[in-house]
Amino acid sequence: MIVDPSALEAYREVMEDEADEFIADITSSFYANARELFLKMDEALAKDDIEGFVRAAHTFKSTAATVGAMPLSGLLADLEKRGGSEPLAGLQPLIPPLKQAYEEVEKKLRELYP
């Protein structure tokens, strides 16, 4: 499952009438943060900035989990861990599949929450 809808649907029980707006804010922030975090990861790879790469992967991992994108979060957890223990240059080939996984998550979220 690319996205577990229960992660965001849980807000409906708590927020009732305000849930749609809140979920829209969360997903909108997720899309904006993803673009920013991809840029930070790319910049960190280019500069061989381990700390910057690990921090961006960690933040992205958490935001992916917030929207229920657990497979994407798992990929980011792996990159976060490997970024702290392997040369960053070796992680560069993992970025295009990560971006593809993100695009699938965004597509699914937009279907679930237009």
* SS3 assignment, position 3: coil
The answer, as to whether pTM is greater than 0.85, is yes
Tell me the one-letter amino acid at 21.
E
pLDDT of residue 14: 87
pLDDT of residue 31: 98
* Residue 12: pLDDT over 90: no
Q: From residue 34, how far is each of 47, 82, 105 by CA, in Å?
A: 20, 20, 11
**Which domains, from first to last, does the chain contain?**
6-112 (1.20.120.160)
78 pLDDT tier (thresholds 50, 70, 90): very high
In this structure, of 13-22, 42-51, 70-79, the range with the lowest mean pLDDT score is 13-22
Q: What is the pLDDT of residues 13-24, one digit of tens each?
A: 888 889 999 999
Residue 57 burial (10 A CB sphere; 0-12, 13-18, 19+): buried
